Amino acid sequence: MTTASDPPAWSWRWRPMTPADLPAVLLIGDEIHRDLPEDEAVFRQRLLLFPAGCFALEITEPAEHGEGGPPAASSDGGDSSARIGGYIMSFPIRRHRPPALNALFPGGALAADADQYYLHDVAVLPRFRARGVASAGVRMVLGGSEGRGGSRNGNGCRERDGAQSGPAAAYETTSLVSVYGTCKFWERFGFRVIATAEGGLVRGNATDEEAEGESGGEGLWEALRDKLRGYGDDAKFMIRQNPAEAPA
Ligand SMILES: CC(C)(COP(=O)(O)OP(=O)(O)OC[C@H]1O[C@@H](n2cnc3c(N)ncnc32)[C@H](O)[C@@H]1OP(=O)(O)O)[C@@H](O)C(=O)NCCC(=O)NCCS
């Protein structure tokens, strides 16, 4: 019997997603987000418009350990096989204006005045969880100081070549919609809840600037609350301050 503390028989790496990954990614999305489904066109548009924020979790395992259907791709002539075990979708948005669930970008383009990074989805199939895989992916996207070395990777694989600066690092803040009670997971990376589907803005957690000022005041938070409800009653909007990029 193996336990979570045993090294897994598989190795993994996060790599840029390609259109060829979409069928596998969609299957994983459908399996993990049964109550929050998104269409193929939505995934495809995000990948097309912001490939720098889309990653596939490539799992390589000895051929005899392969389960759950044919491998996504053969990597080394038969001794092992590679498949997709998870994904990350992320892109820039206008501050505090995440997309509605399963929505195409208005006008078919990213917001020209995007000023916040948005982590839309991180999903890892259950059998590859609890090994630090998602955390490594999140650090990779956030970049900045979290992206520099020291990331846990049980197999000695690199998370990603040149993981120094993730796509989020160019933005002052990163936001996300936490579902399935994952706030504790996100708090590890410095995210805090500033609005909920139940109550809207969490005044005690939001800075004055977030609550009023440039964020657009109450109307913004009402609109956000309505959008959060589309993600379920437990949905929470979280943000983190990205560390300032070190001078070159
Ligand atoms: C959330 C998810 C991506 C985590 O994947 P993972 O590879 O198992 O995560 P990690 O191994 O990097 O977890 C790191 C730590 O976070 C904790 N953690 C993982 N999932 C958690 C959750 N749902 N809630 C709270 N803590 C969680 C782990 O226990 C682990 O703690 P440890 O370091 O003390 O052992 C995965 O469970 C998943 O795909 N869930 C379904 C989709 C989902 O919820 N996505 C996020 C939606 S906002």
pLDDT tens, N- to C-terminus, the chain (248 residues): 556 667 888 999 999 999 999 999 999 999 999 999 999 999 999 999 999 999 999 999 887 654 544 454 444 445 678 899 999 999 999 999 999 999 999 999 999 999 999 999 999 999 999 999 999 999 999 996 443 333 433 332 334 444 458 999 999 999 999 999 999 999 999 999 999 999 888 888 888 777 775 556 668 888 999 999 999 999 999 999 998 765 55
Which protein residue's CA is at the shortest distance from atom 41 of ligand 1?
Answer: 123
Best residue among 178, 185, 240 to mutate for probing ligand 1, ranked by most atoms within 8 Å of CB = 185
Interval between CA 184 and ligand 1 midpoint (Å): 9
Q: Is the CB of 34 under 6 A from ligand 1?
A: no
3-state secondary structure the chain: CCCCCCCCCCEEEEEECCHHHHHHHHHHHHHHCCCCCCCHHHHHHHHHHCHHHEEEEEEEEEHHHCCCCCCCEECCCCCEEEEEEEEEEEEEECCCCCCCCCCCCHHHCCCCCCCEEEEEEEEECHHHCCCCHHHHHHHHHHCHHHHCCCCCCCCCCCCCCCCCCCHHHHCCEEEEEECCCCHHHHHCCCCEEEEECCCEECCCCCCHHHHCHHHCCHHHHHHHHHHHHCCCCCCEEEEEECCCCCCC
Interval between CA 134 and ligand 1 midpoint (Å): 7
- Residue pair 79/14 in contact (Cβ under 8 Å)? The answer is no
Per-residue confidence (pLDDT) for residue 213, from 0 to 100: 56
Interval between CA 123 and ligand 1 midpoint (Å): 9
Q: Is the CB of 173 under 6 A from ligand 1?
A: no
Provide the residue ranges of all domains of the chain, joining segments of one domain with +.
Answer: 11-241
According to CATH, the topology of domain 11-241 is: Aminopeptidase (3.40.630)
Q: Is the CB of 120 under 6 A from ligand 1?
A: no
Q: Is the CB of 182 under 6 A from ligand 1?
A: yes
Which protein residue's CA is at the shortest distance from atom 5 of ligand 1?
Answer: 134
Q: Is the CB of 178 under 6 A from ligand 1?
A: yes
- Residue pair 158/136 in contact (Cβ under 8 Å)? The answer is no
Per-residue confidence (pLDDT) for residue 193, from 0 to 100: 96
pTM score of the predicted model: 0.86
Q: Is the CB of 123 under 6 A from ligand 1?
A: yes
